[in-house]
Structure 1
Amino acid sequence: MQYYNQDTYIYLDGDFVKATEAGADLFGQSLHYGYGAFEGLRAYGTHHGTRIFKAEEHFARLEQSCEAINLPFTWNQQELIARTYELLAMNNLRSAYIRPLVFSGANMHLTSAADAHLMIAAWEWGPYLGHNLLRVCTSSIERPSPKSFPTRAKVSGQYVNAVLASNEAINKGFDEALLLDQDGFIAQASSENLFIEKDLTLYTAPINKVFPGITRQTVIDICQELGIDVVEKNLTVADVLDADSAFLSGTASEIIGIKEVDGVVYREDWEHTIGASIQRKYKKLVLEEENYEVII
């Protein structure tokens, strides 16, 4: 996939520059040690114009991720939102995926960064995992323990874990992987949160065991609006295999249903599941096709 061309602009340290002309410091900790933080946002073309979904929540989480790893964050969030809208306009993008990245300056020591830089890029990108129901497997790769790493932060180096799990699944002929936590419970997918449906109730792993996805919280908010019960509990592999249906949630993937896990096909037709109803509601929400909430 081509993410940019000679006409593409990015936002870098306060200026709009051509992506082809932006340099990278080869002595930065972000390159050598994965010492950086990033976010993923989506902009949607609505009848009100281009809207970034939950921009404030995403940039607030970016700042929180930087704080979690002692990476300086010196930017005003509202200004970053405004610059992001400018970036979309400069690149003639109505619907896009947006990637802010905070990375460190030159430093080969294993010490906290004294300074940091910020880049924002955007490109057209459909749902990360496509539109079809997923074939998923449990992974031999374990989700990092919160005792060894700030797993609530969206930190660059942490995603090596996700790359390994995702590649393992693909090499086995699956679309995505489910990772267990250090206690042997199903936590989440490589970069998405998991929900399972059983007897008209949704279940998901406790917030302290998973990445606190903004889309995950949006699903819970939608369920409250629709009167659907959501229970946070430790999920065993048996719970997942015995569910009526299941789906993943994430900004890049949006809401996408699961067809099977480890070869076990779910009994419910996807179109008649709670997940499918939430998928439709979510799409109307991000496209502002109903008065659900104000999108900034």
Structure 2
Amino acid sequence: MYFDDNTVIYLDGKFVKANEASTDLYSQTLHYGYGVFEGIRAYATKDGTQVFKSLAHYERLKKSAELIQIPFDYSPHKLVEVTESLLKKNDLTDAYVRPLVFCDPNMTLARPNNVSIMICAWEWGAYLGDKQLRLTVSSFCRPHPRSIKIEAKVCGHYVNSILATNEAKDKGFDEALLLDSDGYLAEGPGANLFFEKDGVLFTPQLGNILPGITRATVLELAEELGIEVQQGLFEPKELFAADSAFYCGTAAEVIGIASVDETKFPKAWKDSLGKKLQDAYSKRVRESSTPATIFSTKL
């Protein structure tokens, strides 16, 4: 699904065949989830391939590593260039890019001495599909921000996401919605939440959620479109009384939410602010913004 005999990945400064690459089974990341990663999208445009906000993603990767005290000696600008080369070598235009910083063998709980970086890419559609989602409020909450670095995209944090998603799917729903440790709305297992009420958009404030790059893009687009957005602490009852809602994330892009725990939102998706932002987002990621971000994948 993710690679074949011809797939090339980037590993510690070299491009190698995916099926020939190896790692150490004693890696601290494998045993303890002590690593950081990113999810980046590349889109085909009329002028070539655009990797959307790749520098912002690599800067966040660096910040995530610093927050949890993992050494990071890689230049975000250099990694942007590596990503473009990787896509060319695999002849990919519309693709999902996954950089991973992982630690060397270490069975202690101390910081690592050395780390590795891997970047791979594959064709991948919208992670949550293209139909409106049926959500359920999860029995799992997001970790308290004093227990982890909530703003870092850390491998081990996603056990919480997997548990919530599996619980939701086992109950017959498409995806979960998590609250924070105080019972306020937080986010999805891999996406940020927005909801609409009386022509205004609302979204949970930073502090208990991952500061999504797609979330930031939606905020930019809302400002350009003259849509009022309020960020704050919101109770689940405010979502249940909303007119519409949506999730957003690099993998999910912008996807409408049909219901939460069988409570359906009254506004038709086609008439919602979410749909307007979905269209604007789709246009933004596929437009030729600056020549420096556009390149041909043909070698």
TM class, shorter-chain normalised? over 0.9
CA displacement at 1:295 relative to structure 2: 5.1
1:105 aligns with 2:104: yes
Can you give the 5+ residue segments of structure 1 that lack an aligned partner in the other structure? none
1:73 corresponds to: 72
Change (3 A) 1:227 1:264: same
Change in Cα spacing, 1:194 to 1:96, as seen in structure 2 (3 Å) is: same
Determine whether 1:20 maps to 2:55: no
Distance in 2 between residues matched to 1:226 and 1:29, nearest whole Å? 46
Partner of 1:55: 54
CA deviation profile, 1:257-285 (whole Å, cap 9, x unmatched): 00000000110000000000000000000
Query: What CA distance in whole angstroms lies between the structure 2 residues aligned with 1:157 and 1:293?
Result: 37
Please report the TM-score for the alignment, with normalisation by the length of structure 2.
0.96
Instruction: Give the corresponding residue for 1:182.
Output: 181
**Contact map agreement 2:214 2:253 (CA 8 A) in 1:** yes
CA–CA distance in structure 2, aligned partners of residues 58 and 165 of structure 1: 25
1:264 maps to which residue? Answer: 263
- Partner residue of 2:209? 210
Give the counterpart letter for 2:212 in structure 1: G
**Deviation at residue 235 of structure 1 after TM alignment:** 1.5
Alignment of 1:85-124 (within 5 A): 85-124=84-123
Per-residue deviation, residues 35-87 of structure 1 (Å, max 9, x unmatched)? 00000000000012011000110000000000011111111111111111111
Q: Displacement of 1:294 after TM fit?
A: 8.3
Q: For 2:63 and 2:291, how far apart are their aligned partners in 1?
A: 24
Number of aligned residues: 294
Residues 197-251 of structure 1: CA deviation (Å, up to 9, x unaligned): 0000000001112110000010000011011000012121111111000000000
For 2:146, the aligned partner's letter is: K
SS in 2 for 1:231: strand
8 Å CA contact 1:285–1:292 kept in 2: the answer is no
Report the aligned-residue RMSD: 1.3
Deviation string, structure 1 residues 107-134 (Cα, Å, up to 9, x no partner): 1110001110000000000000000000
Instruction: Give secondary structure in 2 for the equivalent of 1:207.
Output: coil
| Residues 142, 208 of structure 2: 8 Å contact kept | no
1:248 equivalenced with 2:251 (yes/no):
no
TM-score by length of 1: 0.97
Relative contact order: is structure 1 or structure 2 higher (C-alpha 8 Å, sep ≥ 6)?
Answer: 2
Is there any run of 5+ residues in structure 2 with no aligned partner, and where?
A: 295-299
Q: Runs ≥4 in structure 1, deviation > 2 angstroms?
A: 291-296
Tell me if structure 1 keeps the 8 A contact 2:150–2:207: no
Residue 199 of structure 2 corresponds to 200
Distance 1:58 1:143 in 2: 22
